[in-house]
Amino acid sequence: MESGAASPAREQRSLFGEILDWMLAPLLLLWPLSVALTWLVAQNIANRPFDRDLAEMARTVARQVEVLPPERGAADARRLTRLRLPDVAAEVLRADDADKVYFQVLGTRGEFVAGDRDLPVPDEATVPGQEMRYRDDEVHGDNVRVAYLWLPASGRAGESSTLVQVAETLEKRSQLATEIIMGVIVPQFVVLPLAVLLVWLALARGIRPLNELQQRIRRRESHDLSPLRERDVPEEVAPLVGAMNDLLARLDRSMSSQKHFLADAAHQLKTPLAGLRMQAELAQREIDAGQHEPQALKRSLQQIAHASQRAADMVNQLLAMARAEDKESARRPPQEVDLAALARETVRDFVPKAMDKRIDLGYEGPDEGRTLVLPEHGRLLGQPLLVRELIRNLVDNGLQYTPAGGTVTARVMADPFGQVLVLQVEDTGPGIAEAERALVLQPFYRALGSGVDGTGLGLAIVNEIVQQHGAELTIEDARPRSWAAAQGTGCGARFTVRFGLKTAAEAALLKTGLTDG
């Protein structure tokens, strides 16, 4: 269902821009992630060599730690811990141009032995075995990296391991990490624009065949409907070109059919128009010659009227053919069609013409006010205007080819087994030879030897309307040819149109446009 307000026009998308966005967006989104990962990796790489140096300093200090046995006769019998590190060595240990270095030694009972008292003690429990451990901490407001180890204890009650730890600020580490990041990121600032440029150029080159195809199509003449060469386009575009070629072929057939139709129409209109001109010139010459015989002028006027009527009939049939072939009308929502009512009205309209030709025109089917007994599939859906035109052309065709004293019958009946509604128009004319039954459905074709003055469009219009309604048209003899020959009459023709019916549910869906017929 369409809303009452007009929806805004959809903005036209650029295929080039959309592909470029999908290619560059991941690249631009992954680049910050790459920077973050590079920073983490650089931090890890920068920590490794400085951690090794820091661990080596801690082991150097640990080698200078000496745990003395308790003095004889001492009251507490504690083991003493001392550091054999000369002051000069301690100063060398602290000497660093970029970072501050701290060290600390705690005795077996946690007493301070040497180094910096402000260096924090690790929170975890004593881990003997001289296993080197690392942590990040803070000293005097500076972030430091600490390497520490616990020296083996004596095993006496109340004693723990000796703690040795060395700390260093992070200046050198930050500098190295920055250098690594800059060494990786700076080339990316050059590579990234270059990658974008290369993607742009590659994409432009990739869609160049589309531009060339566009130019080839634009350079074509309006009458050139020859197929495009599929080998000149990429494999991905070949299905599109194939669809275009199919459209061009159908358009070529349609235009050829239209040209043929217009040529035939012009040829058919030449005869009545030439008759009009000839009769008008003949009457004018008679008047100029001083001949004022009423009978001669009456004959000329009758011929003019007859020729004008033929031209009018031809124009009406051409308009009817155009309506039947109008695809827009075929796409309109179908309506319920009362076939019996249309047949009755059409027969009633042709009664004067049938009386003039002394033909018995009849109707067989439900009368007005009565409905036809239909099977379960009981809805005939279609375009009532076109169905009326179909019945009109069948009845008119029967009246055209039936001689005086003959009969034409329009019949409407239901087929409960085939679930169809049947329309029959039967006449007592000469009939149609089996070899010509397919030909008479073509525009401007008239049965040979009939001598009937017609347009040759009636049955073509019938066939077009039948196809649009998904119906079935059959042509057969009304009576056996052997019997007709023995009686000296025509075998007649019987036109049968079978319309498929829809259930009430299907009819409701079709009327709302939710399904196809």
The per-residue DSSP string of 23-78 comes to HHHHHHHHHHHHHHHHHHHHHHHHHHHHHHHHHHHHHHHHHTEEEEPPPTT-SS-P
Least confident of 4-8, 141-145, 282-286: 4-8
- Number of residues that this document lists for the chain: 517
- pLDDT, residue 4, reads 44
Considering the segment(s) 17-69+77-178 as one domain, its CATH architecture is 2-Layer Sandwich (3.30)
Pick 499 or 446 by higher pLDDT: 499
- pLDDT, residue 504, reads 65
What are the tens digits of pLDDT across the range 181-209? 788 777 777 777 888 888 888 888 877 88
CB 384 within 8 A of CB 340: no
Confidence label for 331 from pLDDT (cuts 50, 70 and 90): low
| CA 144 to chain CA mean position, Å | 62
Q: Which is nearest to 444 in space by CA: 458, 429, 463?
A: 458
The answer, yes or no, to whether residue 128 has pLDDT greater than 70, is: no
- pLDDT, residue 515, reads 45
Fold exhibited by the domain 328-511: Heat Shock Protein 90 (3.30.565)
Quick one: DSSP state of residue 373?
Answer: -
Pick 73 or 360 by higher pLDDT: 360
CB 378 within 8 A of CB 505: no
Least confident of 64-78, 412-426, 459-473: 64-78
Least confident of 136-150, 244-258, 328-342, 488-502: 328-342
The answer, yes or no, to whether residue 516 has pLDDT greater than 50, is: no
The answer, yes or no, to whether residue 352 has pLDDT greater than 60, is: yes
CB 139 within 8 A of CB 167: yes
What are the tens digits of pLDDT across the range 259-291? 766 766 666 666 667 767 777 777 777 777 766
362: helix, strand or coil: strand
3-state secondary structure 170-208: CHHHHHHHHHHHHHHHHHHHHHHHHHHHHHHHHHHHHCH
Give, in degrees to the nearest 5, the angle at Cα 165 between 164 and 167: 160
Q: What is the b/e burial string over 178-206, where b = at least 16 CB atoms within 10 angstroms of the residue's CB?
A: eebbeeeeeeeeeeeeeeeeeeeeebeee
- pLDDT, residue 236, reads 76
Confidence label for 11 from pLDDT (cuts 50, 70 and 90): low
CB 303 within 8 A of CB 286: no
Tell me yes or no: is domain 231-325 CATH 3.20.20.120.
no
Q: Which is nearest to 420 in space by CA: 361, 462, 469?
A: 469
Instruction: Specify the domain boundaries for CATH 3.30.565.10 within the chain.
Output: 328-511
How far is the C-alpha of 288 from the C-alpha of 276, rounded, in Å? 18
Instruction: Specify the domain boundaries for CATH 1.10.287.130 within the chain.
Output: 231-325
**CA 166 vs CA 37, 139, 171, 373: distances in Å:** 29, 12, 16, 108
What are the tens digits of pLDDT across the range 413-428? 887 676 889 999 999 9
The answer, yes or no, to whether residue 359 has pLDDT greater than 90, is: yes
- pLDDT, residue 514, reads 45
CA torsion, points 185, 191, 192, 196, in degrees to nearest 10?
180
Confidence label for 330 from pLDDT (cuts 50, 70 and 90): low
Least confident of 77-81, 284-288, 382-386, 503-507: 77-81
The answer, yes or no, to whether residue 335 has pLDDT greater than 70, is: yes
Whole-number average pLDDT of the chain: 78
Least confident of 65-79, 284-298, 469-483: 65-79
The answer, yes or no, to whether residue 250 has pLDDT greater than 90, is: no
How far is the C-alpha of 419 from the C-alpha of 423, rounded, in Å? 13
The answer, yes or no, to whether residue 407 has pLDDT greater than 90, is: yes
Residue whose entry in the numeric block shows the structure tokens 């040529």: 263
- pLDDT, residue 115, reads 85
Mean predicted confidence (pLDDT) in 355-379? 76
Pick 7 or 289 by higher pLDDT: 289
Instruction: Specify the domain boundaries for CATH 3.30.450 within the chain.
Output: 17-69+77-178
Share of the chain above pLDDT 70, in %: 76
How far is the C-alpha of 252 from the C-alpha of 136, rounded, in Å? 82
Structure tokens at 72: 């004889």
